[in-house]
Chain A
Amino acid sequence: MPRTSEPPLPRIIIEGVRKTYTLRHTHSFKETFVAWLRRKKVSTSFDALQHIDLTVGESEAVALLGYNGSGKSTLLKLVSGVLRPDRGRVLTRGRVAGLIEVGAGFHPDLSGRENVYLNAAILGMSKTEIDARFDEIVEFSEIGEFIDTEVKHYSSGMFVRLAFSVAIHTELDILLVDEVLAVGDAPFREKCKAKIRELVAAGKTLFIVSHDLSMVAELCSRGLVLRRGELVYDGAIDDAIDQLKAITR
């Protein structure tokens, strides 16, 4: 069937999603039991996201903006599957690579090389895929001869460069980036931006959370603004940035 005759399928569908966090006030059987005896509340709930509706297509670079605690990371975690929505549904098409925090899977006592394999596997790559891309990953990170050193001896920038390099070279359709581009020095950030543009041009979907508005303006075409768990704006990136500046926390 010719693909051109159909409307392009979206990559991410978010329908009527709500995420409620339960804030527990008890942390052991005993506390729970005592609270229950005294008829005290064991928990309170808090809506981090309320009724979000959203679709993101192929080749789209979307920026998610909002002040601290507005629910950006929560939304990204719902898309990556780390969290599950309490209402509504999230659907994705293709492989999702989440950069919720770089280096989450890194082990300080292992060498850079071993960490590359471990982290790429965590992001869903097979051994053959990693073998094929290993040199590219190391080259991009500019780690060079330090690749066989334990990562606890890396500078924080080197650590992040290697972690980011692994993530960006994984086989992916949707890349989720949460506040990780702020690290690394200026030349490396330029390189990352170029790489991200390349991915978007290749039809990948990018979902990025950042407080760095100028960088977001450069990379993304569409902007979403969250305020206290509500989607208050969805449109062109420049307007989204203006909207963000206009609202209060």
Chain B
Amino acid sequence: MSKPDSVDLSAFTVPGTGRGVFDVFGYRYLLRLLVRKGILTRYHGSALGWAWSYVKPAAQFLIYYLVMGVFLGLNRGIEAFPVYLFSGIVVVNLFNEAFGNATRSIVNNRALVKKIYLPRELFPIADVFIAFVHFLPQLTILIAVCLFSGWAPSLVQLAGALLAIVIILLIATGLGLLFGSINVTFRDSQNLVELILMFATYTSPVLYSFQMVENKLPPWLFDLYMMNPVTAAVELFHSAFWFPTTSGSAARPEHLWLISALAIVIAIVALVVGQLVFRRLEGRFAQDL
């Protein structure tokens, strides 16, 4: 047997090591196929198929509207309450779907993770993309509703909506990497995430306006509330979709751009932390699953 020290090792690689999320760019084609697979098999065997992507948010919207708006009469303070409600709900839906699926994705793909080496970040990232694709029908409905209500947004407002989507996708990826990698050894993680997602609708101004919070909370707590990246994204959506359909007299949060910039920073920090923890735990995925 040849002594390994005597051979030139420059052509060799250590199997199973990658560059984390950056490797995903090298696997663009596979990422595309994984996303396609997720989309094709989502409504497999159902007669309505993709129509469900429209039915579900519409039903959710109807429930909230009836309970919150009609029965509880919470809409009195908010003009065009249905549009307000819906433009916030779609943002939280995107966050819930992306974060929830990304958390479960390593466990769901255990057959592959255990048998073939791939940059494992591919799975949560593919799930975030799939969530985004499922968000598009909801966005379409929202735009239709807005147009119906005489929507004429400015370019800045539209840019804000785009920024909101970026914030949500980044933070969902970061948190998904973090909780998804812990989930391999401790399935408690996915239950904890379900709990977080349950709160997400209520900890952002979706069913009420930010002013109601401002009136009740001490200033420092309100600032903390506004620092939630999901809140920033929801308010960006309100500004882009709901506000242009109103008479323009409703109050908007001060410093919305500052809050959004902060949200981007928080999302990037979450992504970095998620990736670091993921890489730390990745070595044990195949044996712990």
A contact residues vs B (CB 8 Å cutoff) = 7, 9-10, 13, 15, 21-22, 24, 27-30, 32, 53-55, 77-84, 89-93, 96, 98, 100-101, 104-105, 107, 109-110, 114, 117-118, 121-123, 126-127
Closest to A103 in B: B111
Q: Cβ of A10: which chain B residues have Cβ within 8 Å of it?
A: 2, 4, 7
Known contacts A10-B7, A55-B2, A55-B4; A123 and B116 CB within 8 A of each other: yes
A–B pairs, 17, beta carbons within 8 Å: A13-B4, A13-B7, A13-B12, A21-B287, A24-B288, A27-B187, A77-B286, A82-B16, A82-B115, A84-B283, A91-B12, A91-B13, A92-B15, A104-B115, A105-B111, A118-B33, A127-B29
Q: Chain A nearest CB: distance from B5 CB in Å?
A: 9
Known contacts A21-B287, A118-B33; A80 and B116 CB within 8 A of each other: yes
CA distance A81 to B117 in the complex (A): 6
Interface residues of B in 29-56 (CB under 8 A from A): 29-30, 33-34, 37, 40-41, 44-45
- The reply to whether B4 and A93 contact each other, CB–CB distance below 8 Å, is no
- The reply to whether A98 and B33 contact each other, CB–CB distance below 8 Å, is no
Q: Cβ of A118: which chain B residues have Cβ within 8 Å of it?
A: 33-34, 37
The contact of B117 among A21, A24, A27, A80, by CB within 8 Å, is A80
Q: Chain B nearest CB: distance from A116 CB in Å?
A: 11
Q: Cβ of B44: which chain A residues have Cβ within 8 Å of it?
A: 109
Q: Cβ of B223: which chain A residues have Cβ within 8 Å of it?
A: none
Q: Decide if B9 is an interface residue (CB 8 Å cutoff).
A: yes
Q: Decide if B224 is an interface residue (CB 8 Å cutoff).
A: no
CA distance A156 to B14 in the complex (A): 35
- The reply to whether A29 and B188 contact each other, CB–CB distance below 8 Å, is yes
* Chain A interface SS verdict (over half): mixed
Q: Cβ of A84: which chain B residues have Cβ within 8 Å of it?
A: 16, 283
Q: Chain B nearest CB: distance from A48 CB in Å?
A: 9
Q: Chain A nearest CB: distance from B183 CB in Å?
A: 11
- The reply to whether A90 and B15 contact each other, CB–CB distance below 8 Å, is yes
Q: Cβ of A80: which chain B residues have Cβ within 8 Å of it?
A: 15-16, 116-117
Q: Chain B nearest CB: distance from A47 CB in Å?
A: 13
Q: Chain B nearest CB: distance from A205 CB in Å?
A: 13
Q: Chain A nearest CB: distance from B220 CB in Å?
A: 31
- The reply to whether A96 and B188 contact each other, CB–CB distance below 8 Å, is no
Q: Cβ of B188: which chain A residues have Cβ within 8 Å of it?
A: 28-30
Q: Chain A nearest CB: distance from B15 CB in Å?
A: 3
Q: Cβ of B17: which chain A residues have Cβ within 8 Å of it?
A: 81
Residue among B13, B17, B115 having the largest count of chain A Cβ atoms under 10 Å: B115
- The reply to whether A104 and B112 contact each other, CB–CB distance below 8 Å, is yes
Q: Cβ of A22: which chain B residues have Cβ within 8 Å of it?
A: 287
Q: Cβ of A91: which chain B residues have Cβ within 8 Å of it?
A: 4, 9, 12-14
Q: Cβ of A98: which chain B residues have Cβ within 8 Å of it?
A: 115-117
The contact of A122 among B9, B30, B185, by CB within 8 Å, is B30
Known contacts A21-B287, A55-B1, A83-B16; A101 and B9 CB within 8 A of each other: no
The contact of A92 among B12, B41, B115, B187, by CB within 8 Å, is B12
Q: Cβ of A96: which chain B residues have Cβ within 8 Å of it?
A: 15, 117
Q: Cβ of B288: which chain A residues have Cβ within 8 Å of it?
A: 24
Known contacts A29-B186, A117-B33, A121-B29; A15 and B118 CB within 8 A of each other: no
CA distance A10 to B214 in the complex (A): 69
- The reply to whether B115 and A126 contact each other, CB–CB distance below 8 Å, is no
Q: Which 10 A-B pairs have the closest CB atoms?
A: A81-B16, A81-B15, A81-B117, A91-B12, A121-B30, A100-B115, A104-B115, A109-B44, A82-B286, A109-B41
CA distance A15 to B9 in the complex (A): 13
Give a binary string over B1-27; 1 marks a CB under 8 Å from any A CB, 0 the rest. Answer: 110100111011111110000000001
CA distance A204 to B7 in the complex (A): 19
- The reply to whether B29 and A83 contact each other, CB–CB distance below 8 Å, is no
Known contacts A109-B44, A122-B112; A93 and B11 CB within 8 A of each other: yes
- The reply to whether B29 and A27 contact each other, CB–CB distance below 8 Å, is no
CA distance A81 to B14 in the complex (A): 8
CA distance A179 to B164 in the complex (A): 50
Closest to B110 in A: A104
Closest to A97 in B: B116
Give a binary string over B107-133; 1 marks a CB under 8 Å from any A CB, 0 the rest. Answer: 000011111111000000000000000
